[in-house]
Structure 1
Amino acid sequence: MLVIGLDGALLGRIEDAGAPHLAALMAAGLTAPSLVEPDVPTLSGPGWATILTGARHAKHQVRDNSFTGNRFARYPDFLTRLASARPDLDTCAITSWAPLAEKVFSARVGTRVATPDAEYDAGTTDRAVGALRDGDPDALFVQLDGVDDAGHRHGAASPRYLEAVRGADAQVGRMVAAVGARPADEDWLVMVTTDHGHTDAGGHGGPSLAERRTFLIAVGEGLASGSVRADVRMPDVAATALAHHGLALDPDWDLDGRPLRAPAATR
């Protein structure tokens, strides 16, 4: 399983950018626009916490990018849950935004890498491709930050934002190609998602519709080609990741996410 996070990416601008690799994933699987919950800060900390834990903001209690007051001991990230339930699995998190690798994922996760700032998304992508090519990973989370940076610097309506989307698309393409080069008997699930949107002028954190926009693109067995759903929510990413590896969602976990499809013990 490969989960790619495109920080601050807007689905509509991905479509505007003419991003061929993301367009191919949308054609091959499910596209599901969604929104950050009302009254939840449209910041990376709360957004990624919801996606990675499968629990809503009221439960994980991440209010900002400091992650202060989090309840990750009660609501851990999905890689930690996988590693705890299935110690045989090779789990990996590689992030361009260092706080994700350093503050969200626990020591149970096999590999946690915060890419040095000087390498940024290029280094993150190189590491992810290397893990897929040279290792035997079962579950990877990869976060790219360049689209969010362009949104802050130039705004979501700018040509530079579209340029950043096209750059991220090329990096997604490299990772998906590395998955495709893996042994044919491996049944991979690929998900691409985001933590929040951006205003046309640039920035996020407020309650506007543009800032609240998120999405999920998912390709794997049981997900119809070219399908679109309006009932998918941010916590469903973690639930789907757990179900893909054959974990039944324990009611005691108190998760808010639901799997996109039936569980299967696969990669």
Structure 2
Amino acid sequence: MSRFVAASLAVAAAFAVASCAGAPQSARTSPVVEQTAQTTRPDLVILVSIDGFSPDYLGKGQTPVLDGLVAGGAFGPMRPSFPSVTFPNHYTLVTGLHPDHHGVVGNRFTDAQLGAFTMASKESGFWDQGEPIWVTAEKAGVRTGTMFWPGSEVEIQGVRPSQWAPFDQGMPGDARVDRLLSWLDLPVDQRPKLETLYFDIVDTAGHRNGPDAPETRAAAASVDASMGRLMEGLKARGLYDRTMLVVVSDHGMAATSPERVVWIDDIIDPAALKIGYGGAVLTA
């Protein structure tokens, strides 16, 4: 198995490696490069996001599976785009565009033409400024399966993944893994070649309890166990050594305290703001 544990735009490099065997002859530098690409081309690429997972959570005893992937693969730094919240960064990860170019500039925001955007918005106009990797793949005839990802249940540029599921925050991590693996049990001509998998419980625990809380450590351990379930599922299907696994996160966490408070009232009239999860938006 090829493994790549990183964040932000490093995903683009991983997909380039995964697809290099399909490049036109003019793009290849030599027959040696062509032969190497053909022998290392994976049968399957799985992009996994662990929302709100800071690199600081690794190596502390709760994440043996992820620690093993780091030790046996490649590891890159976390460099989130601004704003460093879930929806803008997840769309950056799959489009290669910064939020001011792909248009999803917050978890909640208001667009002059389209109106209010929330994390439940399905209006394609919010998403059509960028082309996520599953749309690019489907256009090229490569089947995809998205087990949750911001934007993955929306028809974008007239395209949907071959397999997808509406987001259900209550679905446990193991159930998400099992659904993704079930798509690999379909007939060969229906199986996805690119899959996405999304975990949100580390983010939820971190926001509610802080990055150093036992609840957050427990959430990291739970996701790590689900990742182990994914590894075993791939091995059982004979796909482990033919899969490129890319594990990313959209942002980390920083602890706060009552001593570090900024009173917005002292800076701007609160009546001019709409304040919600993901930041404040000027209304006038």
Which band: TM-score by shorter chain? 0.5 to 0.7
1:126 deviates by 2.3
Does the C-alpha gap of structure 1 residues 157 and 22 become closer, same or farther in structure 2, counting only changes over 3 Å? Answer: same
Give % identity. Answer: 24
> What's the TM-score, normalizing by structure 2?
0.62
Alignment match, 1:102? 153
Alignment match, 2:41? none
CA distance in 1: counterparts of 2:253 and 2:151, whole angstroms: 20
- Find the residue that maps to 1:143 and give its secondary structure: strand
User: Which of residues 78, 88, 91 is equivalent to 1:46?
Assistant: 88
1:29 deviates by 0.5
CA distance in 1: counterparts of 2:176 and 2:110, whole angstroms: 26
The amino acid that maps onto 2:103 is Q
1:103 deviates by 4.1
- 4+ aligned runs moved over 6 Å, structure 1: none
> Are residues 1:64 and 2:116 paired?
no
Q: Deviations over 1:190-221 (max 9, x none)?
A: 0100111112249xxxxxxxxxxxxxxxxxxx
> Are residues 1:144 and 2:199 paired?
yes
- Find the residue that maps to 1:190 and give its secondary structure: strand
Instruction: Using the TM superposition, name which of 192-201 and 61-70 deviates more.
Output: 61-70
Alignment match, 1:240? none
The amino acid that maps onto 1:13 is Y
> Are residues 1:9 and 2:53 paired?
yes
CA distance in 2: counterparts of 1:184 and 1:168, whole angstroms: 21
The amino acid that maps onto 1:48 is H
CA distance in 2: counterparts of 1:51 and 1:73, whole angstroms: 15
Does the C-alpha gap of structure 1 residues 199 and 185 become closer, same or farther in structure 2, counting only changes over 3 Å? Answer: closer
> What's the TM-score, normalizing by structure 1?
0.65
The amino acid that maps onto 2:229 is R
User: Does the CA contact (< 8 Å) of 1:53 and 1:77 recur in 2?
Assistant: yes
User: Does the CA contact (< 8 Å) of 1:92 and 1:111 recur in 2?
Assistant: yes
1:60 deviates by 0.7
1:178 deviates by 1.9
- Find the residue that maps to 1:192 and give its secondary structure: strand
CA distance in 2: counterparts of 1:160 and 1:154, whole angstroms: 7
The 5-angstrom pairing of residues 103-252 of structure 1 reads 103=154, 107-133=159-185, 136-183=191-238, 187-201=242-256
- Find the residue that maps to 2:211 and give its secondary structure: coil
Alignment match, 1:91? 144
Structure 1: segments with no counterpart, 5+ residues: 203-267
User: Which of residues 52, 67, 91 is equivalent to 1:23?
Assistant: 67
The amino acid that maps onto 1:29 is G
Q: Deviations over 1:139-177 (max 9, x none)?
A: 100111110111011110111111110100011111122
Structure 2: segments with no counterpart, 5+ residues: 1-44, 112-124, 258-284
Q: Aligned-residue CA RMSD in angstroms?
A: 2.6
1:115 deviates by 4.2
CA distance in 2: counterparts of 1:27 and 1:186, whole angstroms: 16
- Find the residue that maps to 1:189 and give its secondary structure: strand
